[in-house]
Structure 1
């Protein structure tokens, strides 16, 4: 199950309190029961993604605020990220902070995959959310990243460009562009932030090497415990989401990446009532929604790892009941 840390969830409730919404009323409205078992809460203080989605959905509709996730992200504090926040805060520059984010992001929220790459003088940090993350969750995540970096580097610091997979209205896009202080692209392939590579060397105000080393050790211990509790399904989902494309993605290669035999992987997945083929199919369907209409069908088939166009066409018809060509013509 995809989860997030209790402190990250609770910070959303804290913000709603400042807007006049009582936490108990809100939790009751979304039928939240995850605090009932105190013993379980102490053993594993994690909140389900479904409850987090429900909370942000409720806030969006109750407050009549289509950009609620954006407003929430603006209120971020490094403390809301828990140990990861303090690890980032004690980093010596943006490059080391991003490295910490890539390594330990799941300690805060195991609901997506962060990626980083450099393209000459432009650096890119990308977030691939879990398929069930709603638009408000994505908005908060992207806004919070920029908000924290501004707190630690310079309040006037601006990205070069922000990309969202969602389709925001013209008025909403203008609001986002005003705060981010850069162009906003909607209906994009990925949710990502572009910024000058020169930012990577900017020193943090709170650089503390000794504390940073201690926090890395603590983070490693927490990450090790967290991974030991993860379902194999979640580990495979993260591996699939992290791949640039799904070419040559099969059970044997995935099992090798997990240091397991294919037979062992299959056995564990059967216990979790799924299979590698189902997980791969779900990831293909997720990416298909990002690719369709943007690339040729041949390119999409290759990026999704199908052996040929006809295999892709058959899968598409099995998923949606009609062919890709029919979809492009009528949808």
Structure 2
């Protein structure tokens, strides 16, 4: 529990506050600690007040990656909290380009106890705020559970990926689960439909990956993040391992488009950015609907199709997650069933597939 121990006599909403860090908050990065203290404040603003020196620890300037310790005094400047009725419209509303803003009540809970919860994340929702998104999954959970002392993402999913997402409710659980990730003791299995016939003997993809930025047209600064396969001796290549199992393949007519598709089970042993998407695309068989690494003509045709054979987003779903419970050590398996849009497409594109 954080304790506010000092407030300057200023108008409501314009106070400078001093927060005492307790044992539960100890060890957190400063940016993550502030996201808990300043619920409803956009992530971009939190980084701005850190960079400007308005946030201080024990009266000293600090960086976003500074770790807070028990007993630290954190100075919080006056901030304005965003209005909740703007970023939280109804479940059917959109925020442009297919981005859906879903209220937290509609996140189905697959598992929950005193240590962590697993939610069924819908496609189109970012896991956290930033890059033009005011409220992601974690911000919405914190607003919906104002009494929660601790809520932190254990891992991440791409915005367009649906499925199992873990959130820790205790710092000890977060550390234990993330240690399992680092030691490759978890099992993260996704369902993906790729464009093409996947060979049954192609089971291991161990190509190193490298992140880079696509230059923007109006200047060298910034750009959109991309990932590519690089040679094994590339100095910036990150070892990446994906295990692939072919579930079904066919040559259907999906929404009037004659195209080969394959349903794959992909288990990742490393958690690199866009790992599955880039590994599959590097084999010449990108994920159907992938707008970054996919077959754009096929994607366009699928999006324009009518009925269940249409596909308006990437067919990548975090289907199964396996881990040891952070307290009991019991081996657990959590599953998320395919959402209706992906299931409808699968029944047309691969009618013999069973999920």
TM-score after normalising by structure 2: 0.25
Task: Kindly indicate whether structure 1 or structure 2 has the higher relative contact order, using CA contacts under 8 Å at least 6 residues apart.
Answer: 1
Find the structure with the greater CA-based Rg: 2
More helix, by proportion: 1
More strand, by proportion: 2
TM-score after normalising by structure 1: 0.26
